[in-house]
Structure 1
Amino acid sequence: MLRIGLTGGIGSGKSTVAAMLVARGAVLVDADRIARAVLEPGTSGLAAVVEEFGEAVLAADGSLDRAALASVVFADPAARARLDALVHPLVRERAAEAIAAAPADAVVVQDVPLLVETGQSAAHDLVLVVQADLATRLARLADRGTTEADARARIAAQASDEERAAVADVVLDNSGTRADLEAAVEAFWRERVAMRG
């Protein structure tokens, strides 16, 4: 099994790279998707978040109101740390189960937005970082309906490009076209993944 840790800041195009790797045969373990699953209605994760942050983080239907929770934790580093302490262990446990279920010869890509922040780089055979310049990231986030102020706050709350590059085995620049990115992913797969087979 080859374990690749995939990370990058919000708006960098990490999910696009993940999809390109899956198209080449990788098994994807998506931390964001797992984080959503462990906070579904009826889960112990959601109950713990409500106990910590109150009923105000719930939507009318009993699901997590992500915007309400984000407004609390992105403005307060201590609140974000409390949330992380509740959610990260659940995500890691579920991710470990998914990796254990993958075939022994699989290329497993763990899409972990906070790989650097949570100190998980050493758990991977390769760390692949996706970067894009700030203007490109802000434009992508604006296209998703994120205000510039919110986008800048989320970017500031994450590791810097320099911190990510410091743990990277490979850095892919995604400031150009999709074709440029596709070519970079193909080169990575050919040079760092296929050659191991």
Structure 2
Amino acid sequence: MAKRIFITGGIGSGKSTLLDFLRSQGVAAVEADKVGHEVLTFADTKAELAEKFGNDIFDDEGNVVRSALAAKAFVSPEMTALLDSVTLKRVYAESLRQLDNLAQTHDFVALEMAILDGRDDFYKNADVVLAVVTTPEVRIARLVGRGLTEEDARNRLKNQVPDSKREAIADVVFTNNGTIEDFENEIALWWESFKNEAAK
């Protein structure tokens, strides 16, 4: 039976570096962000979004215009929660469906998702939960390096789930405040241990 690895971390934490390393080792992966885009194409999702946000979030072909949806959904915590009530249940279900499919043909599968807390029934599907955490200043520096202004970077961090919540559900916590090389070395040590344990 395939081992399931769930990865969580905030923006700029390095969770993508962790996922890239695992992929290089033959781990098949699902990214919840991409699943989130996919579920916006589902007919039942679009019907519920139209009911809650109106028809002006669609283009002439009936596709969700993400910028129009964001303009309505991210104006208040209440509206964001309304969007989450439509999309998150489908993201969880579709992520698990894709993971189940990959598990038929791979020994190790991984799911990268920014938020796992609040859904005990979901993250307990994992054999191991990995959290990647960093200090706010390191994350801001990385985001600025990607082209964001410092103000934009700080605003994005304000809306992030605190690392303490991720640490609370994680089996393994990686603190990624150094170089990519340091982080990859730490991942490699963990991976060898995990892989050897799984082989027993």
Shift of 1:66: 3.0
Distance in 1, matches of 2:56 and 2:149, equals 22
Partner of 2:140: 138
Q: Rg larger in 1 or in 2?
A: 2
Whether the 8 Å CA contact 1:117–1:159 is kept in 2: the answer is: no
Query: Which sections of structure 1, spanning at least 5 residues, go unmatched?
Result: none
Which residue of the other structure, out of 186, 189, 194, is the alignment partner of 2:188? 186
Q: Number of matched residues?
A: 196
Partner of 1:78: 78
Shift of 1:84: 1.0
Query: Which sections of structure 2, spanning at least 5 residues, go unmatched?
Result: none
Shift of 1:64: 3.4
Q: For residues 51-75 of structure 1, give each alpha carbon's deviation from its aligned partner in whole angstroms, at most 9, with x where no partner exists.
A: 3223454467754343443344344
Partner of 1:174: 176
Shift of 1:110: 1.0
Identity %: 34
Cα distance, 1:144–1:73 mapped onto 2, change above 3 Å = farther
Aligned partner letter, 1:19: D
Are 1:115 and 2:116 an aligned pair?
yes
Task: State the TM-score, normalized to the length of structure 2.
Answer: 0.84
Cα distance, 1:75–1:39 mapped onto 2, change above 3 Å = same
Distance in 2, matches of 1:144 and 1:122, equals 33
Whether the 8 Å CA contact 2:4–2:128 is kept in 1: the answer is: yes
Partner of 1:45: 45
Task: State the TM-score, normalized to the length of structure 1.
Answer: 0.85
- The RMSD of aligned alpha carbons is 2.4
Whether the 8 Å CA contact 1:114–1:158 is kept in 2: the answer is: no
Shift of 1:114: 1.1
